[in-house]
Amino acid sequence: MARIVFDLDGTLIDSASDIHGIANAVLVQEGCERITLEQTRDFVGNGAGVFVAKMRAARGIGESEQARLYADFVALYDDAVELTLTYPGVVSALEALKADGHRLGICTNKPISPCRAVLKHLKMDHYFDTMWGGDSLAVHKPDPAPLHAAFAALGEGPQLFVGDSDVDAETGQRAGVPFLLYTQGYRKRAVEEMPHTVAFDDFADLSGLVQTLLIAAQIR
């Protein structure tokens, strides 16, 4: 059976509303105008530090305030779970993959503490045998090291990576593993412009796609 590693935000969960809320809590505290939900989705993907840098730049706050604002943002992050939803069909897809004997993991640029917090809140943490966040190593995606670490923690077997973004596509490419692109997340480019093995827009199709890829590669 396969080792299947998932990105989190924009792939399994839509967390933009919660991130939007804590970002604006920080900005209001600074006396700044709020950012929009659309901006929030656009800023997500490269980790909390990059998100805060983009948020700060959008409101003309100097780079010298980065560390302070980052600390304020992260302090709110573990509790940013109430508005987060799973994408349709995610839980059923995870259950089907587990029933088929696949081992599942998480590799996200979200810090590991809020990653664990939101998965626990959604009662999804038990599906995953390993979780790697944006601060689990000294580097984060698109560096392939966290993805390699996640696969290594899952033991032996074929490797598949599932994600939604340009960052995920680059990570899969650099790691040299098949990449399954979920098209309904936070991607910033057209599907055809992103390197991927297969693309899907419905999690009901995921188990079948996994089976097809494994059979086609004669690795099951």
pLDDT in tens, 41-85: 999 989 999 999 999 999 999 999 999 999 999 999 999 999 999
- 43 and 121 inside one domain: no
| pLDDT single digits (tens) 108-150 | 999 999 999 999 999 999 999 999 999 999 999 999 999 999 9
Q: What is the pLDDT of residue 218?
A: 63
CATH number at residue 39: 1.10.150
- 35 and 48 inside one domain: yes
Q: What is the pLDDT of residue 216?
A: 84
Element (H, E) at 130: strand 130-132
Last residue of a domain, one of 77, 92, 126: 77
- 149 and 68 inside one domain: no
3-class DSSP state of 156: coil
| 21, 83 Cβ separation under 8 angstroms | yes
**pLDDT beyond 50 at 219:** no
The Cα 166–Cα 42 span in angstroms is: 11
- 60 and 140 inside one domain: no
The Cα 109–Cα 119 span in angstroms is: 14
Print the domain residue range for 25: 16-77
- 72 and 110 inside one domain: no
- 68 and 90 inside one domain: no
The token pair that represents 211 in the structure block:
């089976």
3-class DSSP state of 26: helix
| pLDDT single digits (tens) 9-49 | 999 999 999 999 999 999 999 999 999 999 999 999 899 99
Is 42 part of the annotated catalytic residue set?
no
- 58 and 99 inside one domain: no
Last residue of a domain, one of 57, 77, 97: 77
- How confident is residue 220, by pLDDT bands cut at 50, 70 and 90? very low
Concatenating the DSSP letter of every residue in 99-123 gives HTT-EEEEE-SS-HHHHHHHHHHTT
Last residue of a domain, one of 39, 60, 77: 77
* Of 7, 135, 164, 166, catalytic: 7
Per-chain mean pLDDT for the chain: 96
% of the chain surpassing 90 pLDDT: 96
